[in-house]
Structure 1
Amino acid sequence: MNKPKSKKRIENLLRKALLQNGKMEYGLYEYELEEHIDYWYKGLKADRDEFVFVVTENRGHVAMLLITDKKNIYINEAARERLAEFWHKSYNINLERLIPMMAEELANDILSVNGVKTVSNH
């Protein structure tokens, strides 16, 4: 029987990757995320989200994907940068809120998929 993944360990890895500009693994993106882009894009359109971002962790490595409503694809560090641009001042606050939930999903072998609608200030 596989030993369960540690939520706390995953939280620390996500904090390092998403909040401390840690390195992300392109090979993990290819292995776990790339094949699902069309599926997540369809969900984004159906839910009328502005963008969706997906995070995974495997054996201590983290990978991230961000898809915009125009189907622009951002991978790993570029996805993190784009998310920071979208969220601007609320990036750290939003991630501090999301990381525990994301780690819980990943600890249970569920990819963390987050669709986002932004509120316009106009």
Structure 2
Amino acid sequence: MKSKKIALLLRKALLEEGEMAQSLYEYELEEHIDYWYEGLKADRDDFVFAVTENSGHVAMVLIMADKTVLVNEAARAKLSEFWQRNYRTNIEKLLPMMAKELADDTLYVTGVKTINQK
């Protein structure tokens, strides 16, 4: 049941332009930026993003290859820009995994490689 509740919160934050919490970003995500950036470089990802939920609040961070860090709504907007037409589809596919990991008290983190399509 916890996973379903988290999925609803993530859906609101990521697909319905819901508000995200700066304080939650600072509390749970900010300290991991350097670690995730090192993983991004090692894996040769184009960007990495992480999502968390706590007490009904959601936060996210997106780290780009040049170490630009975007938080919450700015991160969501950049992810949407990167994925363009596939943003909604990709998030809907990822939501169950995100919710499960968060319900298991693990931060959801994923690195992404992009393919240039003309």
TM-score bucket (shorter structure): over 0.9
Map residues 74-85 of structure 1 onto 2, 5 A cutoff: 74-85=70-81
Decide which of 87, 108, 111 is 2:104's aligned counterpart. Answer: 108
Matched, 1:40 2:25: no
**SS of aligned partner of 2:39:** helix
Unaligned runs of 5+ in 2: none
Unaligned runs of 5+ in 1: none
Matched, 1:97 2:83: no
How much does 1:114 deviate?
1.0
| Residue identity in the other structure for 2:23 | G
How much does 1:94 deviate?
0.1
Identity of aligned residues (%): 63
Map residues 1-122 of structure 1 onto 2, 5 A cutoff: 6-121=2-117
Distance in 2 between the 1:105 and 1:111 partners? 7
**SS of aligned partner of 2:115:** coil
| Residue identity in the other structure for 1:86 | F
Q: Deviations over 1:11-63 (max 9, x none)?
A: 00000000000000000000000010000000000000000000000000000
Please provide the CA RMSD for this pair.
Answer: 0.9
Distance in 1 between the 2:65 and 2:56 partners? 30
Distance in 1 between the 2:11 and 2:65 partners? 26
| Residue identity in the other structure for 1:16 | K
TM-score normalised according to structure 2 size: 0.98
Q: How many residues align?
A: 118
How much does 1:87 deviate?
0.2
4+ residue segments displaced more than 2 Å: none
